[in-house]
Amino acid sequence: MKTIITDPMKCTGCRTCELICSFLKEGECNPSKSRISVFKNEELGLDFPIACHHCETPACMEACPTRAITKRDDGLVVVDRDRCTGCGMCARACPFNAIKIDPEKHKALICDLCGGTPKCVEWCSTGAIKLGDITDDFLKRERLYIALLFRR
């Protein structure tokens, strides 16, 4: 399955991805309502975009007490907003920090790939965000960056 692949070495931290996502999904330019997040590490001079990887065995799905998160047959991890209580267990379980809880609606926000044509990819002027396949090398690199960003 194709998903969002990021390259922090190309990211300038402009956060256009967050703004286009929140505008298209929630009708407002508000990064706290975006399904993609750019994390900044000043010490390393790194801006790191993160979106859902639609994991083979999603930790978020396993952690959800209301079973609001499911994995569709096509591999997409989705949230049933009617069942979601906004408890945040999914966000805490995600090893990639890819899930947010909407601060007003109290619902989990997970990237749905915009129906197969992610707008963050279209709007990324540096090519830091692409649609691609998750490989073992990508996951190793991603875990390293997350460890550096969040000091885990």
pTM equals 0.87
| Of residues 50, 62, 113, the one with CA closest to residue 90 | 62
Q: Where does 2-55+96-150 sit in CATH, by number?
A: 3.30.70
27 CB-near residues (< 8 Å, 6+ apart): none
pLDDT for the residue numbered 14: 97
pLDDT for the residue numbered 151: 63
Structure tokens at 37: 């997040």
Rounded average pLDDT per 10-residue block, the chain, 152 residues:
88 97 97 96 87 94 98 96 97 94 97 95 96 79 74 57
